[in-house]
Amino acid sequence: MFCIFIAASAMGQTLTTTVQKAFSVNGTTKDQHSFKEGDAVTVFAYKKKGSRYYFMVETKDYANHFNMTYIPFATDEKALKKLPNALSNEMEEALKQKQQDIVKRKKIQRKQNALNGSIRAVVSNLYAFYSEDDAIGKVNSGDTIYVVGFSKKPSDSYYHFALYSDKAAGIFKTIRLSAFKNDIDLDYLPSIGDADVKTFIDQKKKELKQIQDEKAAQFRKDVLKGNIKGKLYLADLKTEDYKKSPFAYGDTVSIVGHTEKYYTHYYALFSTKGAGVFQTTSSIEMTFKDAGKIQFAKLPPVNDPEVQQVLNKQQIIADSLKAVQDSLLIEDFKKTANDLIEIYKKKSPVIVTVDSWSSDSAGGIEVELSVTNCSTQTIKYISFQGYFNNAVGDRCYNEIGGGSVWKARGVGPIGPRPTTTDDFSEKFDECRASYDFDNLTFYSRTADTFHLSSVTIQYTNGKTVTLSGSNLQNHVVYK
């Protein structure tokens, strides 16, 4: 059964039918097209000349003429003869107009698709994008971007794209089309100068700017509330008049401002110990142990009025706390001192505290230990041995060097413990030491628990004491 529909148009009758037998039209890349059985087509011109049938057809996205030795459509020649002459100049002009109309429709559709975010690409590792004019943000390797416009001038070596992502929006340029990991069809993308493209990109920039402003405002709030914290890697911070800061190595402080000037870093810091602006010529990485996690570039400058208000307020709080602590210390000093002296006597010769241990991505293990000398002799060296167990309780072996024993050595001097309340204040700090063994010698990516197996103490008088087994465990605290 034939499936046809004959309709009249301004240029004559047309015939809507379906493909009865699949075929392909060959020619230039532009002219190539394949028809599948059942495809709907409109034949708008026909002519038989000799043994060949000449057709002009169109579909939603294709229009062209071709000739064949048979009729591939679900119709007959009687119906086709009612159509205009496919070999006439008039129909050639009509075909050109249809092709132009299809190109226009494709451009409109492609433009709409682009503005709807359907032209997506991933940025290659090889080539960079550079922003133009007032573009917002950066386009980095691996980013997913959406392209809404494209232009390339013959005299210009750059390809220009109107694009956006969750981090950037605007006009960006690149030297090569291989800046994308995936292929994108640029044929029907609108120009970067298209009015709709400009309006769309301007709106994306506004949205991105609003998001960035909101994030910046929230970040500033977090900063001024003291939520941005860092752990001090060194203790050589000084005030602007070169007085020593109240902070010590390992202290966690709130960072509310940062300024770099003439190779000197200035930090606005506070904790319960104090507040103020402190300076150092050491790098950020040498000042804060977790520097990579802190967005120093986004911090307000140290002379920001709100930063100064926070520091003034926090210094008042710190002074108040210190006053309270001082009064409590004076009141309870003798009791506290006597209690600790008794504890030190019972725990002689030493208390070892395993503060923490951690491993890096390669499995290298860093161990932090604290030592309290509970003897009345000065410690010259203190050596540690230990081991790691995995999650099922089996020993871990060093992946670099072999063996299952972790070793480290701490250098003193570690002073003797206080023996009376009179020398307590002086000797309280002198009899304690902290060690961060970060010169990695033990590597294990399965380590789950750490255990000390022996501690050897060498005193300045030459005497050596080794603790191990259950005797050691009475002197070890695992945090």
Q: Cα 286 to the chain's mean position, in Å?
A: 23
CA distances from 224 to 227, 259, 424, 435 (A): 8, 16, 39, 33
Give the pLDDT score at 331: 56
Q: What distance in Å separates the CA atoms of residue 146 and residue 122, rounded to the nearest whole number?
A: 9
Q: How far is CA 108 from CA 31, 102, 165, 193, 197, in A?
A: 21, 10, 23, 15, 12
Torsion on CA atoms 133, 139, 145, 149, rounded to nearest 10: 30
Q: How far apart are CA 43 and CA 55, in angstroms?
A: 7
- Structural tokens at position 138: 């950066």
| Residue 181 CB-half CA count within 13 A | 12
**Do residues 127 and 157 make contact, with C-beta atoms less than 8 angstroms apart?**
no
- Single pTM value for the model: 0.47
Check if the beta carbon of residue 311 is closer than 8 Å to that of residue 239. no
Task: Please answer whether residues 367 and 376 qualify as being in contact, where contact means their C-beta atoms are separated by less than 8 angstroms.
Answer: no
Considering just the CA atoms, what is the radius of gyration of the chain in Å?
A: 40
User: How far is residue 350's CA from residue 244's CA, in Å, rounded to a whole number?
Assistant: 31
Cα separation, 371 vs 389, in Å, equals 23
Q: Is the omega angle on the peptide bond into residue 413 within 30 degrees of 0, that is, cis?
A: yes
Q: How far apart are CA 214 and CA 218, in angstroms?
A: 6
Q: What is the pLDDT of residues 36-89, one digit of tens each?
A: 999 999 999 999 999 999 999 999 889 999 999 999 999 999 999 999 999 999
Q: In this predicted structure, what is the pLDDT of residue 10?
A: 46
Distance CA 451, CA 446 (A): 15
Whether cis (ω within 30° of 0) applies to the bond prior to 190 is: no
Using DSSP bridges, classify how beta strands 365-373 and 350-359 pair: parallel, antiparallel or unpaired. Answer: antiparallel
Residues of the chain predicted below pLDDT 50: 1-2, 10
Specify whether the CB–CB gap between 370 and 343 falls below 8 A: no
